[in-house]
Amino acid sequence: MTILLDSVNKVAKLAKLRITEKEADQYLENLQEILKLAKQLETVNTESIRPVTHYLDITQRMRVDKATETNQRDRLQQGTEYASSGLYCVPPIIE
């Protein structure tokens, strides 16, 4: 996979970041190095290696999944004008 300078600039624009041309070139170089390392990792034979979820061979204690508190939504939403039908109303954030 190849990353182009246009892609770096597009992501910066989407993230609303102002980057200089020199910074964009540096980000491009860094991303290309990361992709090279990822490609290098793909070549490693992992057939005999067991997947690991934790570095210690332990299991998590489980508890019964039950509600321990009462629903206080109505009481908590009394003090705000930004709630309607049990939901919080927020302004849109996507242009």
CA pair distance 8, 11, nearest whole angstrom: 5
Tell me the per-residue pLDDT of 1-28, one tens digit each, with 9 for 90 and over.
789 999 999 999 999 999 999 999 999 9
pTM flag (> 0.75): no
pLDDT range class, residue 61, cuts 50, 70, 90: confident
Residue ranges covered by each domain of the chain: 5-34
CA pair distance 23, 15, nearest whole angstrom: 15
Per-residue pLDDT for 32 more than 90?
yes
SS3 content of the chain, % helix, strand, coil (to 5): 40, 5, 55
CA pair distance 33, 44, nearest whole angstrom: 18
Alpha helices in 1-95, H assignment, sequence order: 5-14, 21-42, 73-77
Extract the tokens encoding 3.
């990353």
How large is the angle between the packed helices 5-14 and 21-42, nearest 10 degrees?
Answer: 110
